[in-house]
Amino acid sequence: MHSYFSRCNSIRVDSGCWVLYERPNYMGYQYVLTRGEYPEYQRWMGYNECIRSCRTYNYSRGGSYRMRIYERPDFAGQMTECMDDCDSVYDRFHYREINSCHITDGYWTFYEQPNYRGRQYFLRPGEYRRYSDWGGSSPMVGSFRRVMNF
């Protein structure tokens, strides 16, 4: 996207779900945006106005959401099945790390900090055997939510 513009200060999403990446080839920080207006990069929790690649994902409204999270890599340790948002992983499950997960239905966003703050990781249906599979630099997940509002 660098050939089109050098900075991105605002975005309007008319439909769908968009995942923006700070680096080319879908690398770097991820920002998950659904329908709405984002008048400045801080509104999409951006660290800067640098967007170098993006993708769109479409998921039908009214779809189901289900995932299994595990405290250890390779789907080991304590498993919890989730179907709704969680604003604090620690308060709800009494641990801070999610080392693997299996998304069976819907799209989800993991956040590094509680209350949907910090780095974001977009997860689509599939198996994530370790945190690096979803692009994480550590297994710390503070909150997560379903990607909705298409």
pLDDT, mean of residues 111-140:
94
> Structural domain of residue 133, as residue ranges?
66-146
pLDDT, mean of residues 47-68:
78
Where residue 27 sits, what CATH number does that domain have?
2.60.20.10
| Statement to judge: residues 40 and 92 lie in one domain | no
| Statement to judge: residues 132 and 81 lie in one domain | yes
Domain count, the chain: 2
**How high is the pLDDT of residue 28?**
81
Reduced to 3 states, what is the DSSP secondary structure of residue 23? Answer: strand
Q: What is the pLDDT confidence band of residue 8, given thresholds at 50, 70 and 90?
A: confident
- Residue (of 19, 18, 16) closest to 59 by Cα position: 16
Provide the mean pLDDT of the chain: 87
**How high is the pLDDT of residue 40?**
79
